[in-house]
Amino acid sequence: MYSIYQMTPTQITFMKVGSEETLPEAIDFARKYHGLKKEDVTLTVEIEGTRLPVASFSTRRITGNFTKQAWGGRTGNDAIYCGEEDFDATRYILSMPYQDVIRIRDNNDTSDNVGMAHVSWVGPHEVEIVDSMCDFFGVSKLEEIAQEHFNFVVENRQHEIHRDELGVLYREHVAAPPQQIPQRIPTPAEAARNLIISLSKLNVPGEAGQDGKVCAPDGAAAQAKLTSLIRQSREILAQAETLAQHEATNQAESSATEEQPFPHR
């Protein structure tokens, strides 16, 4: 015996809407159920008495929340809130391997990887997506998603996954502006010079600016500008260290090649 349950945002618990003797009959009942014509509905097919889905249908989307932050504060080590951005990760999650999906945790490298695939941000951040995933699959925690359940949802939405992939390819390749010229990345020396120029243009409190007005101290603005310049300096140092390591590796390989004896004839 299989039971069919429905959950919506207004329901605290799942509501039983039907039952069938066989799994094909239960899936057919769920597929045709009128509740799936509404938004934010998840319908699960479960073995009687287990409350663990073997199949599910949903009109929801898997939506993540990306909280943007920047290093700042008195010590420069505090994560300062810079805004939030929601993103739709439905196709991305359904394209992942099953084992990777059930391991996802909020504010963790696993959820960070999903967020960074959808939001462009350089700096500290937090990503929350697990609750939306649970609502989509109709479970209370991701570990309750069985391999067969996940496979059913993926196979049932193959047309949507394929359609979304075609849309991404179109936006990236067909609708992209023609003749885009990539920006040249400055060398560490050039970046350091630009940083020094930016520093020299900062007004010292009490000093007259180019307009002749005396600069009034603005703690928040000064902290934001200083944080930006500190981050730039760290990026310059990291780039310089990477280039130095790369050059050292190339020199070592060249020396090894020169010292290698020629084979005797």
What pLDDT is attached to residue 165? 59
Confidence of residue 50 (pLDDT cuts 50, 70, 90): confident
Which pLDDT tens digit goes with each residue over 158-189?
877 666 656 555 555 555 555 554 444 556 66
Higher pLDDT, 53 or 203: 53
Q: With a cut of 60, say whether residue 60 has pLDDT above it.
A: yes
pLDDT attached to residue 132: 96
72: β partners: 78
Place of tokens 């066989």: 22
Closest CA to 55 of 99, 130, 4, 1: 4
Rounded Cα distance, 182 and 214, in Å: 41
Instruction: Quick: pLDDT tens for 132-165.
Output: 999 999 999 999 999 999 999 999 988 776 666 5
Q: Please give the residue that has the higher pLDDT: either 208 or 147.
A: 147
Q: Given its phi and psi angles, is residue 230 left (phi above 0), alpha (psi -120 to 50 degrees) or beta? A: alpha
What value does the mean pLDDT take over residues 239-263?
A: 59
Inter-residue contact 239 to 188 (CB < 8 Å): yes
Answer whether 95's CB lies under 8 Å from 157's CB.
Answer: no
CA 191/CA 218 separation, integer angstroms: 27
Please write down the long-range contacts of 92-97, taking CB distance under 8 Å and 24 or more positions apart: 92/117, 92/118, 93/62, 93/133, 94/153, 94/154, 94/157, 94/161, 95/161
Confidence at residue 261, expressed as pLDDT on a 0 to 100 scale: 53
In sequence order, the β-bridge partners of residue 57 are 43
